[in-house]
Amino acid sequence: MLVNSVAYKDGKKIADVAREDIHAYLARNDCILWVAVRDPEPHELDQLEEQFDLHPLAIEDARHGHQRPKFEEYGDSLFFVLHMIEPDGDELRVGEVDIFVGHNYVLSVRSRSERNFQDVRARCEREPELMQHGTGYILYALMDAVVDRYFPILDSIETQLEVIEGQIFSGKSPGANIEALYGIKQDLMTLKHATAPLLEAVGKLYGGRVPQICAGLGDYYRDVSDHLVRINQSIDAARDMVTTAISVNLSLITLQESEVTKRLAGYAALVAVPTLIAGIYGMNFEQMPELKWVWGYPLALGSMVAIDAYLFYRFRKAKWL
């Protein structure tokens, strides 16, 4: 589905371009065509491939989707794959945007993502002096928007982690805490899969041999790279915190089991003493001392109570009971 198709000249919008007029504007060298497409059908991708003269391997990646974030250079054109991560209830939905960039066009193909790039287009139109840098600046604006959208997701994950850390020692079920921590770990892994490969890809756009389309924009792409470095460092720190929290939870479970074992051992000792005395005096032997002694029964009961009282005192003192 075609979302937007706009032509720009000298950084300023000059026309909304209909699908059938795309060829005409692509043939011009005095303007830039910025086209945005969402969830296109296979036949629509075939039309775009023909209109923009896209490389077959790049359009194949866009057709199949579910690609690893990456950067490819095909002659004078560039192809980028970025992951769009959006909250979906208690989970994260992973979408994708494929960006094709030529000397006079930018084509973005968005899949499985609800959030669009209208704010990016509005930002670029407010800065015509920067749009004069050409398609390389539009590519930067799109990448910067995608990367900046990772920050609120990471902040949300870190907030969830702080809440669970506060619950660890509050008596809440350790099993529930571990389940929540594993959910956070999975979200962090999803975010890591989106940012780590992208960091490598962005590094090819500044310093060293830079594609001609991105020439003169090294400072902008370096800024995107800095954001990705911060995000990756935060992800690694959060993953370490999750690992530590899981270890603490498992240790607490072990401690709780140890406390239960000690209590059971203490109660077993309290039961064992009366059982032992009663068992001895309950044996069916005729020749046993104290069997006909008038104080034998009270003495046996008193001994049971006295020994259990002493054991109970010692166990309470040792915090076993």
Q: β-strands 77-88, 105-111: how paired? A: unpaired
Q: Domain for residue 224, yes or no? A: no
Residues sharing a CB contact under 8 Å with residue 267, sequence separation 6 or more, in sequence order: 321
State in Å, rounded, how far the first CA of the chain is from the last one: 70
Indicate which CATH number applies to the domain containing 264. 1.20.58.340
Of 97, 129, 161, which residue sits at a domain end? Answer: 129
Contact 115, 149 (CB under 8 A): yes
CA distances from 318 to 110, 266, 314 (A): 65, 10, 6
Total structural domains in the chain? Answer: 2
Residue 256 has a CB neighbour count (10 Å cut-off) of 11
Q: β-strands 2-9, 12-16: how paired? A: antiparallel
Of 129, 154, 184, which residue sits at a domain end? Answer: 129
- Residue 286 is predicted with a pLDDT of 67
Q: Domain for residue 191, yes or no? A: no
- Residue 308 is predicted with a pLDDT of 78
Residues sharing a CB contact under 8 Å with residue 185, sequence separation 6 or more, in sequence order: 239, 242
- Residue 287 is predicted with a pLDDT of 67
Q: Domain for residue 211, yes or no? A: no
Of 83, 99, 129, which residue sits at a domain end? Answer: 129
- Residue 263 is predicted with a pLDDT of 79
Which residue range forms the structural domain that includes residue 108? 1-129
Indicate which CATH number applies to the domain containing 65. 3.30.460.20
- Residue 301 is predicted with a pLDDT of 79
Which portions of the chain are predicted below pLDDT 70?
Answer: 171, 284-287, 290-291
Q: How far apart are CA 137 and CA 61, in angstroms?
A: 23
The reported pTM is 0.80
Q: Domain for residue 272, yes or no? A: yes
125-172: per-residue pLDDT in tens? Answer: 998 898 888 999 999 999 999 999 999 999 999 999 988 888 887 767
Q: Domain for residue 284, yes or no? A: yes
Tokens of 254: 């072990």
Picking from 240, 241, 95, the residue whose alpha carbon sits closest to that of residue 165 is 241
- Residue 261 is predicted with a pLDDT of 79
Edge-to-edge, what's the strand order for the sheet holding 2-9? 12-16, 2-9, 32-38, 105-111, 91-101, 77-88, 70-74
Which residues face 95 on adjacent strands?
84
Q: Domain for residue 222, yes or no? A: no
DSSP 194-216: HHHHHHHHHGGGSSSS--GGGTT
- Residue 203 is predicted with a pLDDT of 87
285-297: per-residue pLDDT in tens? Answer: 666 776 677 777 7
Q: Domain for residue 230, yes or no? A: no
Q: Domain for residue 177, yes or no? A: no
